Amino acid sequence: MSLPLNNTVTEQLTEAGRAIEHDSFAVIDREVGPHHYSAQQWPVVRRMIHANADFDFNGLTDFHPQAVAAGLAAIRGRRSRVVADVEMICVGLSRPRLGHFGIATHQFISDDDVIALAKQEGTTRAVQAMRKAHAQGLLDGAIVGIGNAPTALVELVRLIREQGAMPALVVGMPVGFVSAAESKDLMAELDDVPWIIIRGRKGGSTLVVAAIHALLGLAEAAELSEQG
């Protein structure tokens, strides 16, 4: 499934930029080989491949059955937000694309109180940042993007299981060698909160951004389709 060429908000701003991006997607479609992804899942995976030029994400990317539908519902509801583990995700997301859907971003990794609590309790800043987001009621109904810190994803799973946090969608793609693969496997055990993950050690904030941008593109395409 390709994004319609009449998407405007979620496309590159110049004709030259749009041409390069669409040509890149065409190369990926041509070279990727067989895959098992649905028509709505594939644009997400393809944009992730595009972000890193890494075809391994064809296969490593895994979806909860309701992931894309849940993400689109949250985006199109215009009452959602993105809560990220690190500032890089918030900076990487397109402000005009988020603004079109009324979506704000939040991250607390460098807040003074987060740093102080992490030192006091012997945890990571990422753990305390997730706790702060939950305490402020920001996780419920949010798209939570985790691309850097496995401990953030582990803590998010705990908050869901033990404290009733209910994100609309978790884009869980922390990268690394310590607990990264395990944190994503832990997320995939949940049935009641939809998720998109990358199995194994690979991941990163750029991939979270790519996945969310793909969802924003699908949401705009759905709007345009309904408008006729």
Give the CATH number, domain containing residue 42.
3.40.50.10230
For the cut 90, the answer to whether the pLDDT of residue 121 exceeds it is: yes
Provide the mean pLDDT of the chain: 94
Q: How confident is the model at residue 228 (pLDDT cuts 50, 70, 90)?
A: low
Residue 194 in any domain: the answer is yes
Which stretch of 40-44, 74-78, 112-116, 198-202 has the lowest confidence by average pLDDT?
Answer: 74-78
Residue 185 in any domain: the answer is yes
Are the C-beta atoms of 208 and 90 separated by less than 8 Å? no
Q: What is the DSSP letter of 145?
A: E
Structure tokens at 201: 């050690």
pTM of the model: 0.94
Query: Mean pLDDT throughout 38-58?
Result: 96
3-state secondary structure of 217: helix
Query: Mean pLDDT throughout 103-122?
Result: 98
Q: Any idea which residues carry the catalytic annotation?
A: 50
Instruction: Please count the structural domains in the chain.
Output: 1
For the cut 90, the answer to whether the pLDDT of residue 226 exceeds it is: no
Residue 4 in any domain: the answer is no
Q: 181-192, pLDDT tens digit by residue?
A: 999 999 999 999
Query: Mean pLDDT throughout 52-57?
Result: 96
Query: Can you give the residue range of the structural domain that contains 55?
Result: 15-227
Count Cα atoms within 13 angstroms, Cβ side, for 203.
31
Structure tokens at 124: 């990571």
**AA letter at 155:** E
Q: How confident is the model at residue 225 (pLDDT cuts 50, 70, 90)?
A: confident
pLDDT at 22: 87
Cα separation of 44 and 197, whole Å?
Answer: 11
DSSP H or E segment with residue 61: strand 61-63
Q: Where are the beta strands (DSSP E) in the chain?
A: 61-63, 81-84, 104-106, 143-146, 169-172, 195-198
Cα separation of 49 and 194, whole Å?
Answer: 21
pLDDT at 93: 97
pLDDT at 4: 47
Residue given tokens 């990163």 in the structure block? 204
Are the C-beta atoms of 56 and 204 separated by less than 8 Å? no
Residue 184 in any domain: the answer is yes
Query: Mean pLDDT throughout 176-201?
Result: 97
